[in-house]
Amino acid sequence: MKLNVKVPDSIGFQLAPMLDVVFLLLIFFVVTQKFILNEQDLKVKVPTAPKTTEEASRAIDEIIINAREENDELIITIDREVFTREKLLAMLQRMIAVNPNQAVRIRGDAEMRWQKVADVISTCSQAGVWNVSFSKQLPTRDQQK
C-alpha cells in the first residue's frame, strides 16, 4: 500500500519581520537623539564663572544664539546658520508672535568685546524677548588656582 506522505516545506529564517524591527529601532534612536552640537558653534568658548552650579535644563523650544567676534565683526549663528542683526531681529519677532514666552540662551565667546554681546542683547530686547539667559561653564583646574 502506497502512502501519500507530504513532506513539509523547510522552515527558513524570516528576514522581513526582523528588518521591520531594525528599521523601527533606527527611527526611534534617530528621532530621540539630541542635536545639541548642531545648536552650538564650536568656535565659541563660553566664559567661566567661579562657584557655578549646573545649568538648569533647557526648555524644549529654547533658541540658542551663538555670538563670536571675527576680524572685529560680530558673527551670530543659530543651528549653524549665520544671521545678521536685522535677520536675527526679524526671526525673533516671528517667534515672539507665536510664543510670547520664547526662551533664548546667548552663548557669547569669552574673548569678545562686551559691546558685541550688548548688541545681541539689544536685538533680543527690540524683538520683545524677555526670557534671556546666558551660558557659562565651570572653571578648569588650571583656572581655579
Instruction: Give the C-alpha separation, 26 to 113, whole Å.
Output: 44
Q: Tell me, yes or no, whether 52 lies in a domain.
A: yes
Give me the phi and psi of 25, to 5 degrees please: -65, -40
Task: Give this prediction's pTM.
Answer: 0.64
Q: Which residue range is the domain that position 72 belongs to?
A: 38-144
Q: Tell me, yes or no, whether 27 lies in a domain.
A: no
The domain tally of the chain equals 1
**Which CATH number do you get for residue 54?**
3.30.420.270
Q: Tell me, yes or no, whether 33 lies in a domain.
A: no
Q: Tell me, yes or no, whether 16 lies in a domain.
A: no
Q: 22: number of CA atoms within 13 Å, CB side?
A: 5
pLDDT higher than threshold 90 for residue 24: yes
Q: Tell me, yes or no, whether 15 lies in a domain.
A: no
Q: What is the pLDDT of residues 94-134, one digit of tens each?
A: 999 999 999 999 988 888 888 898 999 999 999 999 989 88
Instruction: Give the C-alpha separation, 35 to 29, whole Å.
Output: 12
Q: What is the pLDDT of residues 60-97, one digit of tens each?
A: 788 889 999 988 899 999 988 999 999 999 999 999 99
